[in-house]
């Protein structure tokens, strides 16, 4: 058993998970991901960091075959959506991020419970909202949660595939969501690989990093 207090072993275990993870294009049909494992990766998503603590995400877990098929069609026919054991649709809050929404007030009060601090933080957020695309920002925040979901899956030997090619409106239709208060940030398929992946291709750190 890995020593949870050994930094070297923790680093090794984490890097092993990153090397294990790949964009799985074909899952073993009929092999299910256990419910406890789905809940584990969702917890990794829930615990993800978010700007201003706004927790921009919602997660819709699709396991029903008919719903998965509708979702596959909404994802431009990508086969891995249909063969996955479960598909997590990561939704990004949109309407609730309006500066005067009850949701924003509730979440900012967690960060600044005193009246003066809350007023200052809300003023900051109003200024931020005036100068930024809140929808794009919310989607980017949700990608952090999706990354943690996929990494957590790799830690326990579950494969995943992030899917950004979809019709957002068709995805919402497939899920039976009519409110359109949220937007689709990413679709994450989960299951077990049918084939071993090809060798990983990544640029070396020497091409990516500068120290100043």
Tell me which residue of 159, 161, 203 sits closest to 20, measured CA to CA: 159
Category of 76 on φ-ψ map: left (φ > 0), alpha (ψ -120 to 50) or beta: left
Q: DSSP letter for 142, please.
A: H
pLDDT score recorded for residue 142: 98
Per-residue model confidence as pLDDT tens digits over 151-200: 999 999 999 999 999 999 999 999 999 999 999 999 999 999 999 999 99
Per-residue model confidence as pLDDT tens digits over 60-94: 999 999 999 999 999 999 999 999 999 999 999 99
**pTM for the whole thing?**
0.95
Per-residue model confidence as pLDDT tens digits over 89-128: 999 999 999 999 999 999 999 999 999 999 999 999 999 9
- pLDDT greater than 50 at residue 29: yes
C-alpha count within 13 angstroms, C-beta hemisphere, residue 105: 4
Taking CA 153 as the corner, what is the angle to CA 175 and CA 209, rounded to the nearest 5 degrees? 110
Tokens for 117, please give them: 């601090």
What does the pLDDT average to over 20-33?
96
pLDDT score recorded for residue 5: 78
What does the pLDDT average to over 15-20?
96
pLDDT score recorded for residue 1: 43
Place 3 in a pLDDT band, splitting at 50, 70 and 90.
Answer: low
144 to 38, 51, 78: CA distances (angstroms): 18, 11, 23
Architecture of domain 23-97+136-194: 3-Layer(aba) Sandwich (3.40)
pLDDT score recorded for residue 4: 65
């Amino acid at each position: 058993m890995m020593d949870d207090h050994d930094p070297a072993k923790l680093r090794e275990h984490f890097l092993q998970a990153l090397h294990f993870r790949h964009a799985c294009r074909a899952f073993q049909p009929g092999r299910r991901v256990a419910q406890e494992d789905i809940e584990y990766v969702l917890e990794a998503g829930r615990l993800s960091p978010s700007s201003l603590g706004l927790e921009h995400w919602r997660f819709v877990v699709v396991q029903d075959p008919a719903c998965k098929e509708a979702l596959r069609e909404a994802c431009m026919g990508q086969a891995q959506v249909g063969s996955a054991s479960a598909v997590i649709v990561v939704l990004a809050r949109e309407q609730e991020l309006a500066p005067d929404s009850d949701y924003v007030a509730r979440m900012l009060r967690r960060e600044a419970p005193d009246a003066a601090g809350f007023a200052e933080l809300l003023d900051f957020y109003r200024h931020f909202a005036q100068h930024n695309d809140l929808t794009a920002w919310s989607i980017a925040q949700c990608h952090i949660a999706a990354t943690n979901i996929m990494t957590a899956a790799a830690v326990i030997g579950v494969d995943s595939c992030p899917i950004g090619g979809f019709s957002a409106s068709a995805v919402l239709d497939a899920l039976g969501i009519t409110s359109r208060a949220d937007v689709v940030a990413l679709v994450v398929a989960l299951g077990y690989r049918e084939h071993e992946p090809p060798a990983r291709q990544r640029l070396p750190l020497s091409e990516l990093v500068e120290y100043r």
